């Protein structure tokens, strides 16, 4: 099973750790070129999908796939780049063999998060997804964690929804921090007691956050929350989280 990883950023590098030695790399901007893709059975796409004015920008994904198919690739596309359900379905209609293996990586801890996942989601046609899961397990990946094999759209909503829920949690603790200031309550005691409830958990409770700012930043939470909002554009709760985060980040 020949595998090429497309994109040698932090997601691609972390993915390479999981897949092990022997993978090929395609990232012309970093000096990695594959001329003939015909020997590869799987291509794992890890290129950026930044948030633009009208949602996620898929240009790098489209260009990468076009380059591979123009140069002999006829295998299974495994998408790690963040993508909405409609885009994944469009890829499936055009290319057929598509899997979505979303990443849940913190950029500063990508290696650790990749090798020690909390759960693993694989979306696509069940036989293809199960075969990919077996290939990953053979390397010792994901031992002892929950695996979800599902369809493309469900996998995409899990990815966007999970990070959106984390964003909502961050903003809830920002509100608790403000409430402590208003009420004269001890913030650390409140934070510990609320986060100590196993239904809530202690992560994402620091205010200010790791970057020293209120709300949430980084590449993942703002992008995934905005993408999730595109799925439910009339949802005032999600719109409120986006607006409140924008306000506190600008303070």
Q: List pLDDT tens digits, range 158-215.
A: 999 999 999 999 999 999 999 999 999 999 999 999 999 999 999 999 999 988 999 9
Q: For the chain, what percent of residues have pLDDT higher than 90? A: 87
CA-to-CA distance for 93 and 84, rounded, in angstroms? 15
First to last CA, the chain: 52
pLDDT at residue 219 greater than cutoff 90: no
Q: Is 41 exposed, middle or buried (0-12, 13-18, 19+ CB in 10 A)?
A: middle
The catalytic position among 46, 83, 153, 220 is: 220
CA-to-CA distance for 185 and 183, rounded, in angstroms? 5
Quote the pTM value. 0.93
pLDDT for 139 equals: 83
3-state secondary structure of 63: helix
Q: Which domains occur in the chain, in start order?
A: 3-154 (3.40.50.720), 161-250 (1.10.1040.10)
CA-to-CA distance for 36 and 101, rounded, in angstroms? 24
Active site annotation includes 83: no
Q: What is the pLDDT of residues 189-201, one digit of tens each?
A: 999 999 999 999 9
* Strand 51-52 to 55-56 pairing: antiparallel
């Amino acid at each position: 099973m020949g595998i090429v990883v497309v994109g040698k950023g932090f997601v691609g590098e972390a993915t390479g750790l999981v897949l092990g030695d022997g993978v090929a790399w395609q990232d012309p901007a970093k000096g990695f070129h594959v001329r003939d893709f015909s020997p590869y059975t799987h291509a794992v796409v890890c290129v950026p999908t930044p948030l633009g004015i009208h949602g996620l920008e898929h240009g790098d994904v489209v260009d990468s796939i076009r380059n591979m198919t123009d140069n002999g690739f006829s295998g299974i596309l495994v998408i790690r780049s963040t993508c909405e359900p409609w885009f994944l379905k469009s890829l499936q209609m055009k290319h057929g063999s598509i899997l979505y293996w979303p990443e849940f990586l913190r950029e500063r801890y990508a290696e650790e998060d990749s090798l020690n996942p909390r759960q693993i989601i694989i979306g696509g046609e069940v036989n293809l997804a199960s075969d990919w899961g077996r290939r990953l397990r053979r390397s010792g990946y994901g031992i002892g964690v929950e695996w979800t094999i599902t369809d493309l759209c469900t996998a995409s909503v899990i990815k966007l929804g999970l990070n959106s829920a984390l964003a909502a949690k961050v903003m809830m603790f920002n509100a608790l921090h403000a409430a402590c200031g208003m009420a004269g309550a001890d913030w650390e005691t409140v934070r510990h007691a609320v986060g100590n409830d196993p239904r809530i958990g202690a992560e994402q409770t620091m205010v200010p956050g790791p970057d020293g700012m209120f709300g949430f930043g980084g590449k993942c939470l703002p992008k995934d929350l905005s993408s999730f909002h595109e799925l439910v554009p009339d949802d005032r709760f999600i719109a409120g989280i986006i607006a409140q985060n924008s306000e506190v980040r600008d303070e």
